[in-house]
Amino acid sequence: MSAFGTLSTPVGVIGVVSDGAAITRVMWRSTPPEGGVVPPDTAADPLLVEALAQLTAYFDGTLRRFDVPIDLGVQTAATRAVLTALHETVGQGETITYGGLAARSGTEVPARGIGSIMGANPVPLIVPCHRVVAGDGLGGYSGGDEGRGHETKRWLLEHEGALPTSLF
């Protein structure tokens, strides 16, 4: 059975799922996903407590790198390689292009395919898909509250110092 907890942030309510051994999902929602997730009860899962504390520190500006264990779930070898390369090599305040991440991952995934992998990332923020940008701009982002993905991506990159703060 997995545990679920939430955190209110400047970019919406973040929901986190832990199986006790690893964080398995991070999402923008305040209710547990279907399928074997217990109601919010962080006290029963110390890893969930730690993940929520690290997310709080991230949004407070005092945490630059997450160190909770993650489980990416069932993925293709290429998807796992891309997400692992992103998680291990692109730090806070940095960005990488879709093509740059494709090359860094050592896979044959084209830049357009990298975008699809970012959209399927089960643990955004911890695996920082918001740091992957287009060669000519921000690119897309499926995180954040519905319809606010681009705004969320911009906020996260400004928060990390990777973009100058917007005047508007």
Annotated domain spans of the chain: 3-60, 77-159
In the residue annotation, 129 being an active-site residue is answered as yes
pTM of the model: 0.91
The per-residue pLDDT of the chain, averaged, comes to: 90
| Domain 77-159: CATH architecture, name and number where available | Orthogonal Bundle (1.10)
Model pLDDT for residues 57-108, shown as the tens digit of each residue: 999 999 999 999 999 999 999 999 999 999 999 999 999 999 999 999 999 9
pLDDT at 39 over 60: no
97-101, 110-114, 154-158, 161-165: which range is least confident on average? 161-165
Among residues 83, 96, 118, 129, the one annotated as catalytic is 129
Model pLDDT for residues 44-60, shown as the tens digit of each residue: 799 999 999 999 999 99
Beta bridge pairs of residue 37: 2
Q: Which residue is associated with the tokens 């929520």?
A: 52
pLDDT for the residue 113: 93
